[in-house]
Structure 1
């Protein structure tokens, strides 16, 4: 649940039922997390401000909206999210009167898979989300239609180039297995033909149980080098202790892009970072 406090939930409901203020027509759109905001920033008109709810360094799985964030959300022109299937904790925020579910109509895409729900980490899915966002932005800002179309075309070309290069870099690799700190990479793995052996912390951040730890150790018997997908929100030490008999190659693949500069080229830089990290293992 997004709100454990009935008082806070009631306050947010009151915010959404207030008469629209003068600020409600400002050129600001909001989304849930930084990578989605970077995707929007890449295609939105330069005159439109893009903001996101989950603060850097925090987990979206336990998000609690502050009153100031509720006010900012109410004053924004649109709210973009991935729908209740992938971001259930944002269902209350999606009561925004101009809420846009970017996955609506994409449910039959073969790349739209569960596995951490971080859909933006798969370049094909990310570009489908970008196309959906561009359509909505064009409706909201028709005077900027040409700028939005040009931004989308440039983004798609740049991401396709990064994706093509990474596929080439991975083409000769015989190693395809990895262990993740967090169950966040299902869509990335499916796109590049990688296999997640285990996630030490599940989607809701519970740690791997004793039986699963023993099964992982058994599975990795005879494997010298183990690739670990790490991210700053989760402790690496327990995994290093568990797999102390193996040589570990640790890649930092932060699904929330905390260390990537937020800019109109931020999403491309995020994909480039993934492109630099993955060949270190595969």
Structure 2
């Protein structure tokens, strides 16, 4: 699940807010260099994946699910592997942090309604208890996105994975399931460019999943929206990786060409295996 999230993020990173004509020309399931973000090379993931690693590592650690522990993890994963892709203000906020989670919580402005809390929430959906998913998604969201829309988007993002992994859900039932469990308009079909609000990325991911039969087509369709497509693809591919109705046919080169440094492909696949063992071994 994490590796598919990372592939969606890394592939989408080459198309984030790129002109539609460029998307149409290059949306061919090969990693692409973004024309402006030259620090993120083809196959490199961004903040969507890095912050998801923070959440996954905390889940595997068994440490208490507290704002301080979550904030510690956010700082830790960035400091050990600084990378671009974060919103500029948040990037500099993390760069200047020398006091770990305590400093993070003391100085963060938690009023965003953008997609940061939703993009890192899918892994929480691996928890078997729906109420626990909702509670933990809200706690982590409130650290940085303590707004109605920010929290709702994170909860819906996490429940996409939970719905397929634990409810055995059908694609056609996903939007009604989310509507029944999280406030927000999850039923309306998304069209057009995806901007920075968290609910937009989640709505677009829901629509893309409902219309897809294969992971390859899902990924291309996420990018075809244009806009904040790396986040849409990360959320959608994470959920769809658990869906029995969607063929798992991502091209082998999207795995092989993903970055594979210390915290790259092999590390992410190891975390995936550990998460599977922890939550699905019985």
Q: Normalising to structure 1: TM-score of the pair?
A: 0.25
Q: Give the number of the structure whose residues are more often helix, by fraction.
A: 2
Higher relative contact order by CA 8 Å / sep ≥ 6: 1 or 2?
2
**Structure index of larger Rg:** 1
Q: Give the number of the structure whose residues are more often strand, by fraction.
A: 1
